[in-house]
Structures are given as structure tokens and as C-alpha cells.
Amino acid sequence: MDSKRYKCSKCMKDYASSEIRLSPNSKIVCLYCLGQKATIEPKQEAKKPVVNEEMLEYTCGACKYSFKRKKSFVLTSCPYCGKNDSLSQKKSGDASNILKDSMSRQYDF
């Protein structure tokens, strides 16, 4: 009969020698704790709410590069050529803006 008892290093309970094993990291562990794999849950990252922020469309007057940026993004220069004095924001393409632009002298030939 097994009279010697050992304490499990994980659950701290006393077990007979027939129920105790040596773990891979050389600690005395009971069969129950040895059978339970250490489940390490991945850290759950806080999900940021997706907000559809308005995008503004820009055109560089120097290199004619067109690009979009979020409205909250502070724009100081063209990301393509680096010039900061020739950026213009494109207007939205609704019908009233198109008609206003068509009346501009800029488009007269």
C-alpha cells in the first residue's frame, strides 16, 4: 500500500505517489493537473469602434497628384512631390457644385 503522499505544485493538494508525476519543468504535479494543458488565452485587444470618417479629396497643382485623406488629418504638403503651396481640395461631386464650377471663368476656352 502506498503510504507516502506528495503535494502537487499546481493545485497544492496531497496525492498518493501513484497519482503524482514529474512535469516537463521538473515539478511534482498530480495526474489531474498534468492532464490539464495550460490554456493561455490570447490577449483580447480592445476593438475600436469603426467610425466612417469623411474623406476629403485633394489635388496638387504642381504635379497634378490626386489623393484622399481623412478630414481629421492635417495636411501640410503633397505626399508625392512635397510642395506645400499648391494643394487644393476637390469639392464634392453633387450637381449644384458641378454647375457652380462650370460657370467659373477658369473653364472658359
The tens place of each residue's pLDDT in the chain, 109 residues long, gives: 557 888 999 899 998 888 888 888 888 998 888 876 554 445 666 666 667 788 888 888 889 898 888 888 888 888 889 888 888 887 666 677 777 777 777 666 6
Pair 24, 63 in one domain: no
Predicted model pTM? 0.40
> Does any domain span residue 19?
yes
Cβ count within 10 A of residue 98: 11
Helical residues (DSSP H) of 1-109, grouped into ranges: 31-35, 95-102
> Does any domain span residue 48?
no
Residue type, position 6, single letter: Y
Number of domains the chain is built from: 2
- The Cα 31–Cα 93 span in angstroms is 71
> Does any domain span residue 77?
yes
Tell me which residue range forms the domain holding 12: 5-35
Pair 59, 100 in one domain: yes
Cβ count within 10 A of residue 19: 16
